[in-house]
Amino acid sequence: MSMKISKLLEDVSRRQLLVAAGQGSAVVATMTLLPGRLRAEFPTLYEAINSVTGDASPAEGRIELTLPQIAENGNTVPIEISVDSPMSEADYVKSVHVFADGNPNPNVATYHFTPANGAARFAARIRLAKTQNVIAVAEMSNGDLYMAKSEVKVTIGGCGG
């Protein structure tokens, strides 16, 4: 049994290296972020969040995360995020990072704001492979971090495998 699993991991890593060699910077960047973890194609949720927050622990609040409680189709799940901020030159939301803990790759997207936005909010549509938590981390211009989480029950998964 363990033989099989290690064989599988080897196959994955070989394919991964081929993909990385032939393809874009995203995979390469993921790999350089994770030295010594060449076997996994994607970071864990912890690693993904940690690459944004470092050692700091995000506070609760200020983020309004709007997702359906139940998504019938995981291929396109509406997401809306609004962060409480004056959006002035002195105090604005720099970015919002979105993660999903049940997808093959926990990174979903990052949204970068400027004071020109006037309000720190956006709406988009994401894929969720199965029932899981969606996590948003907001990075303020002064470096403060905030986090919010919402569970979405997915009826039909959005991986199309």
Partner 1 sequence: MASVKPRVKVPKSAAKGEIIEIKTLISHVMETGQRKDKKTGEKIPRQIINKFTCTFNGTPVFSSDWQPAVAANPYLAFSYSVVESGTFHFEWVDDDGSVYVKDVELKVN
Give the Cα separation of 128 and 13 in Å (integer).
24
Q: For residue 25, how far is the Cα from the chain centroid? A: 17
Contact with partner 1 (CB under 8 A) among 118, 151, 155, 156: 118
- Taking CB under 8 A as the binding criterion, the range among 3-11, 57-65, 137-145, 152-160 that sits at the site for partner 1 is 152-160
Counting contacts by CB under 8 A, is residue 100 touching partner 1?
yes
Contact with partner 1 (CB under 8 A) among 121, 147, 148, 154: 121
Give the Cα separation of 104 and 156 in Å (integer).
16
Nearest to 148 by CA among 72, 81, 93: 81
Q: Closer to partner 1 at the Cβ: 14 or 112? A: 112
- DSSP-based three-state secondary structure for 116: helix
- DSSP-based three-state secondary structure for 3: helix
Site string for partner 1, 32-71 (x = CB under 8 A): ----------------------------------------
Here the tokens at position 151 are 């569970």
The least distance separating partner 1 from the CB of residue 6, rounded to whole angstroms, comes to 21
Give the Cα separation of 32 and 134 in Å (integer).
25
Q: Give the binding site for partner 1 (CB under 8 A).
A: 15, 19, 23-24, 26, 75-77, 87, 100, 103-105, 107-119, 121-128, 158-161
